[in-house]
Amino acid sequence: MGSEDFNLDNLNEEQRAAVTTTEGYVRVIAGAGSGKTRALTYRFAYLVNEIGILPSHILCVTFTNKAAAEMRNRIRKLTGDNDTGYISTFHGFCVSVLQEDSHAVSYPKSFLVLDNSDIDAMLQIIYEERGLTLRQMTFSAARDMIEIRKLFKEPHYYEDLIRMSLDEIHQKYLAATKADDIIFYGYLYQEKKCFGLDYNDLLKFVLYIFQTNDEIRQKWQERLEYIMIDEFQDIDWIQYELMKALCPYHNNLFVVGDPDQTIYTWRGADIRYLLEFDKNFPGVQTIMMNRNYRSTKPILDVANSLISKNKGRIKKDLICGNEGESLPLARTSSLATPSAGDTPATPPSTSPLPSYFHAKSAEEEAENLVKKIRELTGNTVVEPVETTADLTTTAQFAPSDIAILYRAHYISRTIEEVFQREKIAYTLNSGVPFFDRTEIKDSLSYLRMIAYKDDLSFLRVVNSPKRNVGERRIKFLKEYVAKHGGTLYDALKLSVGDELFANTKAQSFIDLIENFSATYHNMQISELFSHVMNQSGYELALRTEGSQERLDNLAELKQSIYEYETSCGEECTLENYLAHAALYTNADITAHKNAVRLMTIHTAKGLEFPVVFIVGMNENMFPSQKVDSLKAMEEERRLAFVAVTRAQKRLYLSEAEGFTNHAGGRYPSRFIFDIDKTLLHYEVELPPQLLTKTKLYIEESDSILAKKSELADLKEGDTVEHKILGRGTILKIDRTAATYTVKFEKVATPRKMSFKAPLTKVGG
């Protein structure tokens, strides 16, 4: 029998139904904080303890290795058994299948699972062998291309990998002439050579085995008497097909998820698998778990009000399991101009309303965080402490109880600067402190090189971007300095004429540094920064690499320089700025356990915190400026819902006036106005003029998104109608540039036009 911890009385009515409904097809719609993991672990223990199923006959799939490990630990405690069956990710389960049955695809049991660094090492070999450069395709773009080709363009590629000999694949690679083909077949050759499988291969190979080998499929179908899938809202096509291949023998399939928390469609997740589960499987029983034990009622009211604006969902409201039933929401106009007599009606609850703060600048927004954190922790200055016992007696929360969430990493820059200045201990989850990020250190080293020509800066930037000044030439320069003295830069200037530097861009690097060293005194630092990033080729290298996040960070650094110039006036010098920036590169402040946590919302998924601040709630920041359809906007709103439901006791929303990295002034996020005004404590009222401008901006944005969504399914060859140019045929669609190339019947040559063009589709 299991341990004494296993007791169905620990479950509420909905959880108990999910646990004890063991036979057939079961769908659980589990709201945020409703005890989903508890229901899953108890269900596993119920099958083992009460029904007597062998753990090795149960498959429980979750989406991260961390979640699988946590689930295994909890199940061990409930069953008292070290055997926890197949509790893993889809990829982990596929590894188990291949370790048993890889002979079906002519692979050894000792196959290699490849990660991104392995793939990059293979790409390096291919690029060197065939003379490809990163200008043709970055490694990141090559990995994406390979994935898209494997999943969509050549979904049967694995048959080549399985059936063709190593020499046949090699010949295909050697015969390839286009960069895409060279990289793709070169990669397949490298994979076959070391019997390596990447994450896509694991799923594809196992699905291939199940589809082509009846005996192996039957063996796994019979073995897995019960299949449970967690986070079902995040499932993609190939995972769905694997699941369908496994369950027809016993027909016991249990899926649990929340359509309101689908935030990974960009990774292939399809919300329809959960929404339409009852249409695709016979006799589905649906159980709603919407009693939330994590958050206070006012926080849940905010979450319910926000997500109710989405259309693609199963309607449900989270109910507070701690403070009684939620009342129906008051429906107020989301962008109504507040009247002087407005007073928020507080719902009947012992907990405070979530707060909304509108700041005049990003710095004021960060300073408001400091003020609130000090109030919450009872400290005048939040010094790093290791236990809550060290806090003053007025403390309600420890610093580590507090999480600051944002949509993208670059938003943390101003917060980090203010926190370091104000001695607020913080740590970044899944992110590097802003001034410690590679591109920030590199670009500041360029400025330092211009001002000081020091060896540390020289070593950091002389070959970034690549100038063919690698280890051998650096070693020569170091030996030169050891013998003759001076700096490495001096040594390069004196040696650049040597044959050793003939095939390098060392002279252009020297010209760059000499030119700006002579002129930087007469330039603004922000102007100097722009010129150096451009002329050094550093910004171009980032663009070629295709990393929008790193480019956003550069833009944020430039904004930081501009703010420094504005605050210092005429006394601002490059040397002063570099000293100022150096203060923020000291990472000591992040090393403490009891510190405020900063992270993106995606990182926070699955976590919970007593206090949550959601910052940077501006249009083009959150929602992201990358949103290009009404469907994508619904996903952003789901992401906001995920952020709100991380909070247990206190929730604070904030945004600031100013300018975005991308274009134009900042407007408060539509997500603020999606929340009924009575449910938020507005710390300051929004200026009526800003409210009017915001409303117009959101309306215009929605109109553009509606148009893009309407035309999203257009493809090459479709017939369209233009209200002025008439009927035409789409020749090409460039989704990156957001353009159509159309050949109109009445116009001699094709026309390239934006997605905003007044086109309508003709026919079905």
Residues contributing to the annotated binding site for ATP: 30-37
Q: How far apart are CA 256 and CA 229, in angstroms?
A: 6
Residue showing tokens 């359809």? 629
Distances in whole angstroms, Cα of residue 172 to Cα of each of 106, 149, 150, 154, 186 = 20, 16, 16, 15, 8
Question: Can you say which residues are annotated as belonging to the binding site?
Answer: 30-37
Q: How far apart are CA 643 and CA 385, in angstroms?
A: 27
* Side chain identity at residue 227, one-letter code: I
Taking a C-beta distance cutoff of 8 angstroms, is the pair 738, 755 a contact?
A: yes
- Taking alpha carbons only, the member of 426, 349, 718, 719 closest to residue 584 is 426
- Taking alpha carbons only, the member of 440, 307, 420 closest to residue 369 is 420
What is the DSSP secondary structure assignment for residue 534, as one 8-state letter? H
**Measured CA angle at 15 (ends 12, 21), to 5 deg:** 130
**Measured CA angle at 576 (ends 572, 582), to 5 deg:** 140
Strand order in the sheet with 253-257: 86-88, 58-61, 226-229, 253-257, 25-30, 285-289
Residue showing tokens 């600031």? 656
Do the strands 253-257 and 25-30 form a parallel or antiparallel pair, or are they unpaired? parallel
* Side chain identity at residue 764, one-letter code: G
Distances in whole angstroms, Cα of residue 384 to Cα of each of 415, 567, 591, 595 = 17, 29, 9, 7
Show the tokens assigned to 586. Answer: 């000291």
Distances in whole angstroms, Cα of residue 15 to Cα of each of 18, 41, 293, 534 = 5, 11, 12, 59
Instruction: Write a three-state SS string for 323-358.
Output: CCCCCCCCCCCCCCCCCCCCCCCCCCCCCCCCEEEE
- Taking alpha carbons only, the member of 199, 217, 220, 218 closest to residue 209 is 217
- Give Rg (Cα) of the chain: 29
Taking a C-beta distance cutoff of 8 angstroms, is the pair 193, 166 a contact?
A: yes
Instruction: Provide the CA 236 distance to its chain's centre, in angstroms.
Output: 17
Beta strands in 222-294 (DSSP E): 226-229, 253-257, 285-289, 291-292
How does DSSP assign 1-33, residue by residue? ---TT--GGGS-HHHHHHHH--SSEEEEEE-TT
Q: How far apart are CA 449 and CA 754, in angstroms?
A: 43
* Side chain identity at residue 356, one-letter code: Y
How does DSSP assign 507-530, residue by residue? HHHHHHHHHHHHHGGGS-HHHHHH
| 299 φ, ψ (degrees, to nearest 5) | -70, -40
Q: How far apart are CA 443 and CA 526, in angstroms?
A: 12
Taking a C-beta distance cutoff of 8 angstroms, is the pair 460, 442 a contact?
A: yes
Name the strand (E) or helix (H) holding 69. helix 65-79
Show the tokens assigned to 71. Answer: 């689930």
β-sheet bridge partners, residue 226: 58
Taking a C-beta distance cutoff of 8 angstroms, is the pair 666, 659 a contact?
A: yes
